[in-house]
């Protein structure tokens, strides 16, 4: 098979690179997955053992696609192709004893972590309203991903909240250790700790994986960066692919500086740019280029396409959020009538809060749709309860799972009894399961023992049926006779489809491995209203996807860019990268929309158009006249009516201003031409030179 067929010059150079570090700057739609998979196939054809190749990506979906492509090219499946977390788990499984873990350790998810934190707060009489459990969980995740030592924590964490977080972090770690459990961050932190503390183990993995490929390198966080650098430090055959301009996960500790500094980390590296886009038309790409060029922190990458110029980007300004949703729906129906499939159209928004009005409009307009990123299958209560039973059956030291389901369905074991049980286990230094002793608690223990025996004699699907019957979960929902209970029952039945699929595709039926696979599912699942409908999703969720037609909605200051970015270092630049990602999802048509006024989170705001619209060169933009208004436009926004150029330049933080409709307010933040003003009705983001403002 000619692996190089259909590749361009730069792609061929990347595929044929053999020894030493290589940085591939791959623009949106430039065929990076094709380059990665073809390079793996080429390495094997050139004599590299497939077992010496490690390919890391960020989602199970991407890993699955890469595996399939490599197999289709050369029929080889022996390279490790997976996520950082799945590779970390592999190392932990192979060396769990070095980490002081039991063989049957379990992995808890983010909600379980939150449950542990809430329990610690309660035990220490800490008010969760004063110290948010969610904020504490994020802080603990930060501590782990930065791999901060106790000395660093004592030195750097000085505020009351930080000191509280450190105390809770230490207790949280003890609880996990006693439960023989790990959280998701541990799947990265523990392998790095293992490699740094045991030279022989590090040597083993360096020799085993002499060729390392990393996808989406711009999204690596500090611990992933450290992990990769350790593995590649001996042979230095590190091949990374990414796009600085698509780094949009700073809130997950992703650090774009990792890709910016790659050439400093590896001075001998070969750098290759993939700038030919195979997805979009040139008007769309030029719009993306004209926005991203305003970022100071970027790698020069100018996308172009042989797909022709195509239609201009359409900009539609609307009266309010309902008018915006209605106009989008009308345009969708028009394009569908002209031949564009609904499944080829997407409405992308900055925050989930914007989705409701579009969902309502889709229903009103009888347009089939699906929402990506809503509460997904594995986060449903009944599914988490069932998984907790499976975890406890597998690992009786799992106090977290035991706490969740000891009274599910209700069996008369209340919080007081559970607290007493926990105290007894702490005093006796045994698991809560071993401490079960009273009548009701012993009945629960007998139930679990019975299910443990079932697990030895049944496949997982039959075990699930046994759990549903013997625990009373099925009976409880059947007797409730409500629509919600029926849905929960259907979800529990659907879970058996997952176990049956696992049993069908796996060589060995192992409960522990099945639980691992569930824990590693990090891709957001879909809440399917209609698989063939229009897609509604956040721009973050859309990364890696493409659609014939894209509507980027809510393009207003304070919404996109989000108001939170005004106060953060590099915040606007991250928002601009997010805009770049949104624009480059479109193949043939792109619509930008916003509203004169908008009701969101219970508040009505009047927001100026997003700066990102004004950054797009006019020759790529078609401004559509939709309503007559003194601040709107016919062919172009009439800035002379909306702003008074050069006015209010002396407005500074602390000044008092008067707004025509909002009244008096105090300026609390100034960012160039934007000001955040505290009015009686709340904080608003305004343009400094807007005609409705005057300094007092």
Out of 16-25, 359-368, 409-418, 626-635, pick the least confident.
Answer: 626-635
Nearest Cα to 676, choosing from 565, 599, 594?
Answer: 565
| Highest mean pLDDT out of 108-117, 215-224, 582-591 | 582-591
Q: d(Cα 330, Cα 314) in Å, to the nearest integer?
A: 14
Q: When comparing pLDDT for 275 and 532, which is higher?
A: 275
Say if residues 593 and 613 touch (Cβ distance below 8 Å): no
Extract the tokens encoding 447.
Answer: 């139930």
Dihedral of alpha carbons 342, 346, 352, 355, sign: negative
**Exposed/middle/buried for 89, CB within 10 Å: 0-12, 13-18, 19+?**
buried
CA dist 395 and 102 (Å) reads 9
Output the pLDDT for position 58.
Answer: 87
| pLDDT tens digits, one per residue of 168-186 | 999 999 999 988 899 999 9
pLDDT value of residue 671: 67
Tens-digit pLDDT profile for residues 378-423: 778 899 999 999 999 999 999 999 999 999 999 989 888 998 999 9
pLDDT above 80 for 229 = yes
In the predicted structure, residue 353 carries a pLDDT above the cut 60: yes
pTM of this structure: 0.75
Q: What is the pLDDT of residues 635-687, one digit of tens each?
A: 333 434 444 545 567 788 878 888 766 678 788 777 666 787 876 655 676 76
Q: Which residues are catalytic?
A: 32-33, 215-216, 246, 585
* DSSP H helical ranges for 277-431: 282-292, 321-337, 355-364, 381-394, 399-405, 415-428
Cα separation, 81 vs 77, in Å, equals: 9
For the stretch 440-467, pLDDT in tens is 899 999 999 999 999 999 999 999 999 9
- Residue 42 is predicted with a pLDDT of 95
Contacts of 28 (CB under 8 A, 6+ apart): 243, 245, 246, 277, 279, 280, 288, 303, 580, 581, 584
For residue 357, what pLDDT band results from cuts at 50, 70 and 90? confident
Give residue-wise pLDDT tens across range 549-567: 999 999 999 899 988 788 6
pLDDT for residue 643: 43
Dump the DSSP string for 245-292.
Answer: GG---GGGT--THHHHTHHHH-TT-EEEEE-B-SSS-HHHHHHHHHHH
Mean pLDDT of the chain: 87
pLDDT score, position 635: 36
Please check whether residue 26 is in contact with residue 216, taking contact to mean a CB–CB distance below 8 angstroms. Answer: no
Would you say 432 and 395 are in contact if contact means Cβ atoms under 8 Å apart? Answer: no
Which of 99-103, 187-191, 533-537, 691-695 is predicted with the least confidence, judged by mean pLDDT?
691-695
State yes or no: pLDDT of 478 exceeds 90.
Answer: no
pLDDT value at position 520?
Answer: 74
pLDDT at 49: 94
């Amino acid at each position: 098979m000619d692996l190089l067929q259909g590749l361009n010059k730069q792609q061929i150079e990347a595929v044929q690179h053999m020894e030493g570090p290589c940085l591939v700057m791959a623009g949106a739609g430039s065929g990076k997955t094709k380059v990665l998979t073809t390079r793996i196939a080429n390495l094997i054809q050139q004599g590299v053992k497939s077992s010496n190749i490690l390919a890391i990506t960020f989602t199970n979906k991407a890993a699955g696609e890469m595996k399939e492509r490599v197999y289709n090219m050369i029929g080889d499946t022996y390279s490790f192709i997976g996520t950082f977390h799945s590779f970390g788990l592999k190392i932990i499984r192979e060396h769990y004893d070095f980490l002081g873990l039991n063989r049957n350790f379990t992995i808890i998810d983010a909600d379980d972590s939150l449950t542990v934190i809430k329990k610690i707060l309660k035990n220490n009489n800490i008010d969760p309203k004063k110290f948010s459990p969610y904020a504490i969980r994020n802080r603990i995740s930060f501590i782990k991903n930065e791999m901060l030592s106790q000395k660093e924590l004592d030195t750097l964490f000085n505020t009351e909240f930080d000191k509280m977080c450190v105390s809770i972090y230490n207790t949280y770690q003890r609880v996990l250790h006693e439960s023989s459990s790990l959280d998701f961050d541990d799947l990265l932190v523990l392998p790095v700790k293992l490699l740094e503390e045991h030279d022989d183990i590090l040597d083993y993995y360096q020799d085993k994986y002499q060729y390392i490929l990393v996808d989406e390198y711009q999204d690596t966080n500090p611990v992933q960066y450290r992990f990769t650098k350790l593995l590649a430090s001996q042979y230095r055959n590190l091949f990374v692919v990414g796009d600085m301009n698509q780094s949009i996960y700073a809130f997950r500790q992703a650090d774009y500086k990792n890709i910016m500094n790659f050439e400093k980390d590896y001075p001998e590296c070969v750098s290759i740019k993939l700038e030919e886009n195979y997805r979009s038309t040139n008007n769309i790409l030029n719009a993306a280029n004209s926005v991203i060029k305003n970022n100071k922190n970027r790698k020069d990458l100018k996308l172009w396409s042989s797909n022709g110029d195509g239609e201009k980007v359409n900009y539609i300004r609307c009266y309010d959020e309902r008018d915006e949703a209605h106009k989008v729906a009308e345009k969708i129906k028009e394009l569908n009538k002209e031949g564009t499939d609904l499944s080829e159209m997407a409405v992308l928004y900055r925050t989930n809060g914007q989705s409701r009005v579009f969902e309502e409009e889709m229903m009103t307009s009888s347009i089939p749709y699906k929402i990506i990123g809503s509460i997904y299958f594995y986060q449903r209560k009944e599914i988490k309860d069932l998984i907790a039973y499976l975890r406890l059956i597998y690992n009786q030291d799992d106090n977290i799972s035991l706490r969740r389901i000891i009274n599910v369905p209700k069996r008369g074991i209340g919080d007081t009894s559970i607290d007493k049980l926990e105290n007894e286990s702490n005093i006796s230094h045994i698991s809560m399961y071993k401490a079960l002793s009273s009548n009701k608690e012993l009945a629960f223990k007998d139930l679990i023992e019975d299910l443990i025996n079932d697990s030895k004699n049944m496949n997982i699907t039959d075990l699930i049926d046994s759990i549903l019957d013997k625990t009373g979960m099925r009976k409880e929902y059947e007797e409730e006779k409500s629509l919600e209970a029926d849905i929960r029952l259907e979800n529990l039945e659907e879970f058996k489809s997952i176990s049956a699929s696992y049993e069908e595709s796996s060589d060995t039926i192992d409960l522990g491995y099945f639980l691992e696979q569930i824990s590693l599912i990090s891709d957001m699942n879909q809440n399917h209203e209609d698989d063939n409908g229009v897609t509604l999703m956040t721009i973050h969720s859309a990364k890696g996807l493409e659609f014939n037609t894209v509507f980027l909605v809510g393009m207003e200051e304070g919404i996109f860019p989000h108001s939170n970015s005004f106060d953060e270092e590099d915040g606007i630049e991250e928002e601009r990268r997010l805009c770049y990602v949104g624009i480059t999802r479109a193949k043939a048509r792109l619509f930008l929309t916003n509203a004169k006024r908008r009701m969101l989170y219970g508040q009505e705001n009047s927001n100026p158009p997003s700066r990102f619209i004004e950054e797009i060169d006019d020759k790529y933009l078609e401004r559509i006249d939709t309503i007559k208004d003194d601040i709107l436009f016919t062919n172009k926004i009439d800035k002379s009516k909306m702003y008074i150029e050069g006015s209010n330049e002396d407005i500074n933080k602390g000044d008092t201003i008067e707004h025509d409709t909002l009244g008096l307010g105090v300026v609390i933040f100034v960012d160039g031409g934007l000001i955040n003003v505290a009015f009686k009705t709340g904080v608003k983001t305004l343009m400094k030179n807007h005609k409705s403002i005057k300094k007092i």
